[in-house]
Structures are given as structure tokens and as C-alpha cells.
Amino acid sequence: MGLTWREPCPDSALESAPWFALIVRHQHERSTQAALASRMLPSLVPTYKVRNRWSDRFKEIELPLFAGYVFCRFDLRQRTAVLTTPGVRSIVGFGGAPAPVDCAEIDAIETMMRSNLPIGPWPYLKPGDRVRVERGPLRGLEGTLLREKDRFRLVVGIELLQRSVAAELDPQMVTPCWS
């Protein structure tokens, strides 16, 4: 599982800047990320591995978890620099105003990527029964617990994009979240 992450020289102003989801050209997530990095803008393209069948063999490839999107951390004063980056179509927002992605959601995706557990895209779920992982590499994460045949998955979503990511886990590692 590849966490494709490039963060240029740390800038205290950017560390406190919000994350935004950028809509990018079809299959241009990585090239757009490289272009953002050249402009000193931290970006994130989470990926997952999948076995692809070719005519004569199988090959494992990495695909973006959120196809068509790149996450970028920037101050709104840098909006023009972001929008003029090759590959960027627009910033996800509402009513013409960019909408930031919750930092906790970005942190959860990064934790799932670092866990080395099998992950992959998952249909977005509305808020429902939530759980907190108490043990293992995903300890501290909250998400929705789903059962799929004989396996359990923790689903974490990016609400702004209405997309989710799922990681397999042992159901004994979780406890219910009481709001």
C-alpha cells in the first residue's frame, strides 16, 4: 500500500492551513501532485494495491483511493497558484467557496495507509453505528464497522467527497462509540 506523500520544506503557515480536495484531470493524480510539490504545496494522493490481469500475467499496481482527487494543504490566499497548477480543474466547495476537509479525516486515511492492512475504496456510508479501534495498528481511529461475509471492516469516510476507505480488522479490537 503506497502512501504517496510529498511535503516540501515545512512552513509554519502551511502547517496550520486547512486541507482541501482538488478535482483533477482523469488519471492525473500523480502528475498534479508533482506539479503542486514544485510550487511548494503539500499534497496527498492515498493509493491502494490491486492485482490487474494482463493477457499473459497478473501484475500488482497502485491506484488512487480517491480517483480524480488530490488533497492539498494551502492558505486560501494561494488559491490562484493552486487553480493554475497543471491538472487541477477546481477546488471542491459549496456555493463557489472552497470547503476544507476535516483534518481528522486526513489523519485517519494516513493512519490506515501506514497500517499495512489490506485497504481499498468503499462505497460512502451515512453516519451510523460507529466504533473505536482499541488495539492494533489502527488504535484510536473511529469509523463504521461492517460485516462482509466472514470478514469485518472498519470504514472511514471523507464526508466532503462522499467517498470511503475500508480496512480489514478483527472485531475484537473495537468498542462501540457512545455519543
Q: What is the DSSP string of 86-126?
A: TTEEEE-EETTEE-EEPHHHHHHHHHHHHTTS-EEEE----
User: Is pLDDT above 80 for 179?
Assistant: no
- 107-143: buried (b, 16+ CB within 10 Å) or exposed (e) per residue? ebbebbbebebebebbeebeeeeebbbeeeebeebeb
The model scores a pTM over 0.95: no
Domain with CATH 2.30.30 in the chain: 117-176
138 confidence band (pLDDT: 50, 70, 90): very high
Domain with CATH 3.30.70.940 in the chain: 3-101
H-helix or E-strand containing 8? none
pLDDT, residue 150, reads 81
Percent of the chain at pLDDT exceeding 90: 58
pLDDT, residue 3, reads 47
Mean pLDDT, the chain, as a whole number? Answer: 87
55 confidence band (pLDDT: 50, 70, 90): confident
Q: Which of 122, 120, 175, 171 is nearest to 150 (CA)?
A: 171
Domain 117-176 has CATH 3.40.50: no
pLDDT, residue 127, reads 47
Q: Which CATH superfamily is domain 3-101 in?
A: NusG, N-terminal domain (3.30.70.940)
pLDDT, residue 6, reads 43
Express each pLDDT in 76-104 by its tens digit.
Answer: 999 999 999 999 999 999 998 999 999 99
